[in-house]
Amino acid sequence: MDTSTLITHTKTLLRTDPFSDNYRLVGKELGRGKFAVVKKCVELVTGKEYAAKFLRKRRKGEDCRCDIVNEIAVLEMARFSPYVVDLHEVYETNSEIILVMEYAAGGEIFNQCVADQDEAFTEKDVIRLIHQILQGISYLHRNNVVHLDLKVHLHKFYILFTGVAISIVG
């Protein structure tokens, strides 16, 4: 990816204390991508549920920290959209960066689309959902951000970032 359009700094503090001092992982994996794993976690102090996205800083021998920082910056910019998951906080270790984000408990849209008739979305549900997704994408576009990897598998009633959103500069 051409990194000339990536944002290289964020407002969010990257915590270096152990993630496990503040969160407990629960349940099974929520999702897995090429370079990240998302797991459900619970904040120890509040008991609130979050999604923790574990991103490797090195991929195929390349330093990808700049890509991750860009993803954090995009989430910061989108903080005020009700259709984009909220970034709660960020942890950094020697090998990975962990994004603690709002937990969207609705499940994967794709699974609901291919489910048996009793469990599948109604037409009204699909219309409402597509409307919300398009509002989120529109919000990003109005802020000069283009998501490069949109597919139905990635959405859980909110737009989830996969590390391939770029900010258009200029």
Residue with tokens 């009204």: 124
CA 29 to chain centre: 14
* Distance separating alpha carbons of residues 100 and 127, to the nearest angstrom: 29
**Residue 168 near residue 116, CB atoms below 8 Å:** no
Q: Is 11 annotated as a binding residue?
A: no
Q: Give me 154's structure tokens.
A: 């990635």
H/E stretch holding 119: none
Positions annotated as catalytic residues are 149
* Distance separating alpha carbons of residues 11 and 67, to the nearest angstrom: 16
**Residue 35 near residue 55, CB atoms below 8 Å:** yes
* Distance separating alpha carbons of residues 145 and 124, to the nearest angstrom: 29
Residue with tokens 């139905």: 152
**Binding region:** 53
**Binding region for ATP:** 53
